[in-house]
């Protein structure tokens, strides 16, 4: 059915003031259905809940929470983690909350989950929004890693495993500008106190200066990423480092 007073503007951010009717739902002439997420990434550990507030802008009335669908490219995603609820909003831009609660998961379920939230917008197209859920293991660096390059390479740090089982950990350091790297892999046991890691390495010949990158990961999820800039100076010898700890 056509309406002579309904015009499509071609813009997702503006809606004409003309009102038309589609079936039993009121429709705003010129409005384009879309899903707008307030945040696009959340990091949690098992037992926590990730919340993604979003707005459903639609010309086809107020969508029911049962009309939304959440899928992921990660085959380990469990639809039972999903919960949708309404929050305060107006009739044109109703507000919702997408909650993801993984609960107790296995080792293979840690990592990143690209999520697509969709809703069938009338008969024209699917409205959709994308976000990412990252499930981190209950492992943390209890202290800042101590990294030296000159005169001898060494990595020292304390790790804590708050999970009831062991977890796979990898620690790697690589030289930027060459293909040199060194990696250690081990299982971090369940312990009440901190686990001490200390290993030495030989920096590449002729490349004891420059940038080195240290990455500490648990179950494939980065915990610490640190850039170490080593400069060999005659007076004095210094180690200049910049640190970035992943949330």
Those residues whose C-beta lies under 8 Å from the C-beta of residue 68, and which sit 6 or more positions away, are 84, 96, 98, 117, 118, 119
Using one digit for the tens of pLDDT, what is the confidence trace for 4-13? 333 333 333 3
* Highest-pLDDT range among 57-61, 79-83, 226-230: 79-83
Closest to 4 (Cα-Cα) out of 25, 31, 29, 27:
29
pLDDT, tens only, 130-160 = 999 999 888 888 888 888 887 788 899 999 9
Query: Mean pLDDT across the chain, nearest whole number?
Result: 76
pLDDT above 70 covers a percentage of the chain that reads 71
Whole-structure pTM over 0.75, yes or no? no
Please, which pLDDT band fits residue 91 given cuts at 50, 70 and 90?
A: low
Domains assigned to the chain:
19-135 (2.60.40.10), 139-245 (2.60.40.1930)
- Higher-confidence residue: 44 or 21? 44
CB atoms within 10 A of CB 104: 9
């Amino acid at each position: 059915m056509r309406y002579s007073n309904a015009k499509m503007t071609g813009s997702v951010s503006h809606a004409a003031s003309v009102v038309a009717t589609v079936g039993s739902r009121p429709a705003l002439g010129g409005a384009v259905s879309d899903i707008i997420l307030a945040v696009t990434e959340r990091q949690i550990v098992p037992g926590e809940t990730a919340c993604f507030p979003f707005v459903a802008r639609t010309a086809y009335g107020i969508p029911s929470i049962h009309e939304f669908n959440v899928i992921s490219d990660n085959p380990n995603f469990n639809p039972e983690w999903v919960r949708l609820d309404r929050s305060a909003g107006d009739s044109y831009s109703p507000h919702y909350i997408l909650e993801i609660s993984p609960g107790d998961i296995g080792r293979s379920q840690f990592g990143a989950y690209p999520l697509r939230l969709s809703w069938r917008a009338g008969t024209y197209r699917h409205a959709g929004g994308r976000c990412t859920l990252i499930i981190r293991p209950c492992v943390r660096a209890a202290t800042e890693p101590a990294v030296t390059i000159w005169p001898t390479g060494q990595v020292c740090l304390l790790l804590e495993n708050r999970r009831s089982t062991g977890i796979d950990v990898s620690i790697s350091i690589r030289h930027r500008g060459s293909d040199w790297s060194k990696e250690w892999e081990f299982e971090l046991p369940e312990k009440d106190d901190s686990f001490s890691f200390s290993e030495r390495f030989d920096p590449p010949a002729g490349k004891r200066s420059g940038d080195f990158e240290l990455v500490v990961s648990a179950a494939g999820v980065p915990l610490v990423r640190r850039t170490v800039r080593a400069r060999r100076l005659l007076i004095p010898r210094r180690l200049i480092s910049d640190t970035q700890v992943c949330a």
